[in-house]
Chain A
Amino acid sequence: MGTGNPVARGSRTRTAAVIVLALSMSAIGVAYAAAIMTGRTETWSAWVMAIAASCSLIATTALGAARAGQRLGGLRGLIVPFAAVLVILLGAFAAALLLPAAGEPLLLGLPRRAAIVLYGVGILPALILPITYALTFDELTLTEEDIARVRAVASRGGSEDRE
């Protein structure tokens, strides 16, 4: 037999992540629909895409990191790095959309707006997220207790009462 009504047992963190993901998909869907119906892309749709694409990636990451039965879905210690990456993404895309093109100085060898996008979106998260993953792994992602539970179930050949 299954566990029944699993929705009610899901953590609020997971539900929140799924809601953000669903809203992001709806927003991207609206941007796509507007482009398809008018045959061109509006300025607002770039903002929608920037916000929704960034939120969808971070929401999905948070959904994966969340654990059941723990306060904040077990995300304590991960909220700050996830929020930091989201702010970096949104900030970089906003800078790309808002900063003037004329007279751009070079920043680390690239024109300013390109540098903000490439270093901000392409490099900074690659420094923050893998290090966060490694530093929090033993405590938040996979504990010795988790391993023991899995091995106990595996040694019994999985779920004894599954179909």
Chain B
Amino acid sequence: MIALLQTAALPSLKQPTIVAVALVYFAIVAAIGVWATRRTRTAGDFFVAGRKIGVLPLALAAMAATVSGFVFIGGPGFVYGAGVGALYLVLSASITTSMGAWVLAKRLRLLGEVRALMTIPDAIGARYRSPSAQGLAGAAIIIAVVGYMATNILALGLVIDAVFDVGLTAGIWLGMTITLAYSVAGGILAGVYTDVFQGTLMAVASLLVFLFALQAGGGGEGLAGISRTISAADPEFFGPWGKLTPIAALSLFFVFGLGSLAQPHVVHKFYMLRDARQLKWYPALMSVALIMTLLLYFAVGVATKSLVVQGQLPPLTRPDDATPLFLLNATPVLLAALVFSGVAAAIMSTVNSFMSIGAAAVTHDMPKALGRRVSNELLWGRVSTVVISVLAALLAQLSGTLVAFLGIFGWGLFASTLVPSLAVGLNWPGATREGAVASISTGLIITLVFETLAYFKAYTFPAGVSASGLALVLSLLVFFGVSWLTRRGPGAEIDPDVRMVMDL
């Protein structure tokens, strides 16, 4: 499995225009945070934005939370190194937005209305009539969130260091503090509206970079010029699997396709929609925004490769240098500045979403699993946001190479624990409480064991097999098997209101 985010230093980006645009960007984010803070009065405002979000903000916020900094930095580097094979990681985006709408959006939104749910583990608890399943899902989310946030905060620190030249440690804490400030004060409401701004910035900047990349890399012939140039020097690059094996490429397609249903920081946003009928246009809006943003992933990778083949750029010592080098050499500095702000935007929007779901798991799901209720969820939501963020920032600063492992571990844990119990379970009445608990436990154990073995190089999977993929397959099979075995037991029962939503 590839590293999901930037973990090595970027080239220096300290230029007056880039610094100025970054400062303007942070000022706008701060202004949105202040605005949202004045509108955050209850735990419902803090965790589900008062269920008052329209479909356009929902689509843009979901896209911004889906896309991490990897799409801007690591992704183009991956394309530069692996050719077409790297695109299998994002190819399923053509299906996943619609799949997510059919599988989760309607049911989560309606279940949220019927039961006043606020978190993803809430939905699991309601579906299986099981505080233990809710607690287990909450625990998996907390573990994954801290790990994934650490990776994102490190990436944010690297970007801030490259732009402002403040050093990595200062970059980490500066980035975390800015994101934390608007997240603690304005909760998910601030998060959603900064996501709207950030998502728009990311999509527009990516589209512009795509046009510049075709021009620069194709020498006036656009994509055809890029294809001819690269294929003449490196025929494998534009092969149907690039430099990956077919099974490795297809495995990426499978894991990132089905795994997209289990990103709680994204699907949690369905609760926030003001009117479920607005979902009608969600897949179309989300698909347009997502594909626009992913254009950069493809175009910068192939354009940089073309420019290197033509001798207009030196061969890259690290694939992750593709985006900074391309932008600084082949686009106007203002556009480069917008993209670097877009990178920070992508990371911050993801971190903010993680802060929210992590805090909700601590203050809402875990106490509920233990039969308790926190009296002031808004206050404790803010406190736990700070605690989780500081923990993640410390991990980012102190864990060295472990941070890349934490990111992969977090992503794999979400996929293997939530696809069966949430995505399938909310649509299949045959799923049982025992099946859900067994599959979540399987996902936790398999992901932890195999990712740890892989990290310490005690075991290396053959090309094409990943711990995330294996854990996803096994947790689904355990889910089906245990549900079938326990289909006549009390764990198969479903509350009537939940069943009604599942049947719609």
Contacts and interface: CB of A to CB of B under 8 A. Distances in A.
Interface of A: 1-7, 9-10, 14-15, 18, 21-22, 25-26, 28-29, 31-32, 35-36, 38-41, 45-46, 49-50, 52-53, 56-57, 60-61, 63-69, 85, 93, 95-97, 99, 101, 106, 108-111, 113-114, 116-118, 121-126, 129-134, 137-138, 141-142, 146-147, 149-151, 153-154, 158-159, 161-163
Contacts, number: 275
9 closest A-B pairs by CB: A2-B493, A64-B103, A109-B223, A96-B240, A129-B98, A68-B503, A46-B246, A64-B102, A159-B497
A149 to B, nearest CB: 7
Contact of A114 (B84, B116, B474): B84
A135 B496 CA distance: 30
5 contacts: A6-B493, A35-B461, A113-B240, A129-B99, A159-B497
A72 to B, nearest CB: 15
A31 B246 CA distance: 12
A121 B95 CA distance: 9
A18 B428 contact: yes
Interface in B230-256: 231, 235, 238-241, 245-248, 250-251, 253-254
B462 A40 contact: yes
B interface bracket (residues with beta carbon within 8 Å of A): 35 or more
Interface in B113-129: 113-116, 129
Q: Chain B binding site: helix, strand, loop or mixed by DSSP?
A: helix
Contacts of A137: 279-280
A36 B238 contact: no
B268 to A, nearest CB: 17
B428 A14 contact: yes
Contacts of A41: 245-248, 462-464
B372 interface: no
A141 to B, nearest CB: 6
B477 A26 contact: yes
B223 A61 contact: no
Contacts of A56: 254, 257-258
A95 to B, nearest CB: 8
Contacts of A6: 429-430, 492-494, 499
A5 B477 CA distance: 21
Given A2-B129, A5-B492, A35 B95 contact: no
B222 interface: yes
Contact of A68 (B227, B470, B502): B502
A49 B279 CA distance: 32
A18 B430 contact: yes
Interface in B456-473: 461-465, 469-470, 473
Contacts of B17: none
B129 A163 contact: yes
A162 B286 CA distance: 36
A121 B101 CA distance: 19
B2 interface: no
Given A38-B462, A133-B284, A150-B500, 9 more contacts: A53-B250, A61-B98, A96-B241, A101-B235, A109-B227, A118-B84, A125-B94, A134-B284, A150-B114
Nearest to B218: A109
B238 A111 contact: yes
A116 B246 CA distance: 15
B10 interface: no
A5 B469 CA distance: 32
